[in-house]
Amino acid sequence: MAIIHQCEIELHDSVYFATREIGRLYETETVLHNYSLCYALGLVDSDRFQTQVSEEDSYRYFCPTQVPKYAAHLNPLNQQQIYVTPGRSLSHKTVLNTWKYADNRYHVEMQKTQKNIPSFGRTKEIAPESVFECFIIANRELKLPRWIRLGKWMSKAKVTIVKKEEVKRSQSETDFLYPYPLNPLDVMFSHQVFSYDTINMPPVSLIKNVKLRGQYYDTPWGKIPANMAYFFSS
């Protein structure tokens, strides 16, 4: 048996993360990666969820480096049988913001520029009041934080568990369609994947409209792939 938590995440600030760069435009994909959701929901290195990591990989108060340690941080979630799917948009709008380069040094030697080129960039961000949905699959009921922070600006978002459903895994493997985003690394070892659409975004591109074969959970939201766990490319 598994318990699937249907979670809605409502943005109270604009959310920005650089999915792609088009010249001076930095665009945010309207999908929340499942890696980032694990960190934002406080599932990583947590006493409450029993996902503690070694002291050298600690992710609590101070991170000595900016190098991600996904394997070290997310493998404990596998051991506790907690899995978070990527977040899809239920409703969203985007906003464009312009920012300018600045030199914070107290003294700058003024040099004549060869061309009159403005130093600025633009970000396409997800607007406040946008709502996302994700599913958390666990072997027990989870108590999640009410408020979380997302993206480069650590934007505020509200988390609501809309519904909890106790479900059984199918006994046989069958072909089915999963329309929502998935992490391909997390499903390719437990299912046979036939076709999909790609969502290009770091650190691992996601897929959607996935036709696959394997075991599943039959839920009010449709068939959700069973046996998903975090895997990492070497």
User: For the segment 65-95, what is each residue's pLDDT rounded down to a tens digit?
Assistant: 777 899 999 999 999 999 999 999 999 999 9
Looking at the predicted structure, is the pLDDT value of residue 105 above 70? no
Q: What is the pLDDT of residue 185?
A: 96
Q: What is the pLDDT of residue 100?
A: 73
Could you tell me if 175 and 196 are in contact, meaning their C-beta atoms sit under 8 angstroms apart?
no
- Mean pLDDT rounded to a whole number for the chain: 90
pLDDT tier at 117, thresholds 50, 70, 90: low
Percent of the chain with pLDDT over 70: 89
Q: Are strands 120-126 and 25-27 parallel, antiparallel or unpaired?
A: parallel
Helical spans, DSSP H, in 58-191: 70-79, 184-187
Q: What is the pLDDT of residue 106?
A: 53
Could you tell me if 83 and 227 are in contact, meaning their C-beta atoms sit under 8 angstroms apart?
no
The answer to whether the predicted template modeling score (pTM) of the entire model surpasses 0.75 is yes
Average pLDDT of the segment spanning 177-195: 97
> Residue 96, Cα to own-chain centre: how many angstroms?
22
